[in-house]
Chains A and B, each alone.
Chain A
């Protein structure tokens, strides 16, 4: 089972360049999330989506945009990358029902902005 897949796994950008991280899940989950992880900071929520065609801001949304055109995909975009966006990015998904509450995570994408 693929679960949650993120591409690319690694990327190096120059300041001002743009890029898109792709998250794909094959579990038919309604909810999807993008987090960033920085040393000593834990995981912080960037944006999330509660269904196809919907997105909302999380704790640290500045400098990022997202889209959920298809239920299985959640894209995270950086229009003009900055060194402060050097981080490891995690995508996650979960079911609508709160009975389990578990989030399923991708393997992470390490982004370096020079």
Chain B
């Protein structure tokens, strides 16, 4: 089974600064999807960014970008120009071909943004 590891339970960043959240995964598949979801205090799960494994180019969405290292099985999220609204739990997830394409989630990283 695929496992997703987020080694940072908590991170803190100052407003306007840059922060990187780490994620590693374990898989024997060659084609798959990776995701970062954001969960603010409202509890809603919000898709931040998605990466297809067959694409070498790192995905970007405005202030959010990833560093995808397929050989190292690493998928980190970089948040630039951090804003107070970025404060949330961030979950890294792997989409498996088993279990009806369900997502396997890491345990999450709680991001605090300070003024």
Residues from chain B with a CB closer than 8 A to the CB of A88 are 43
- Give the total number of A-B pairs whose CB atoms are below 8 A apart: 61
> Are A50 and B100 touching (Cβ within 8 A)?
yes
Residues from chain A with a CB closer than 8 A to the CB of B106 are 42
Contact indicator per residue, chain B 80-101, by CB within 8 Å of chain A (1) or not (0)? 0000000000010001010111
Residues from chain B with a CB closer than 8 A to the CB of A48 are 99-100, 102
> Whose C-beta in chain A lies nearest to the C-beta of B97?
A98
> Are B108 and A108 touching (Cβ within 8 A)?
no
Q: Does A107 contact B (CB under 8 A)?
A: yes
Residues from chain A with a CB closer than 8 A to the CB of B43 are 88, 107-108
Q: Does A100 contact B (CB under 8 A)?
A: yes
- In the assembled complex, the Cα of A56 lies from the Cα of B45 at a distance in Å of 23
Q: Size of chain B's interface in residues, with CB distance under 8 A?
A: 24
Given contacts A102-B50, A107-B43, contact A42 B102 (CB under 8 A): no
Q: Size of chain A's interface in residues, with CB distance under 8 A?
A: 26
Describe A's contact surface by its main secondary structure.
strand
Given contacts A101-B33, A105-B44, contact A42 B101 (CB under 8 A): no
> Are A56 and B99 touching (Cβ within 8 A)?
yes
Contact indicator per residue, chain A 90-107, by CB within 8 Å of chain B (1) or not (0)? 101010001011110101
Indicate which residue in A31, A90, A107 contacts B101 across the interface (CB closer than 8 Å): A31
Q: Does B112 contact A (CB under 8 A)?
A: no
- In the assembled complex, the Cα of A43 lies from the Cα of B90 at a distance in Å of 12
> Are A105 and B95 touching (Cβ within 8 A)?
no
Residues from chain A with a CB closer than 8 A to the CB of B33 are 98, 101
> Are A42 and B50 touching (Cβ within 8 A)?
no
> Are B95 and A43 touching (Cβ within 8 A)?
no
> Are B101 and A98 touching (Cβ within 8 A)?
yes
Q: Does A41 contact B (CB under 8 A)?
A: yes
Shortest distance from the beta carbon of B111 to any chain A beta carbon, whole Å: 15
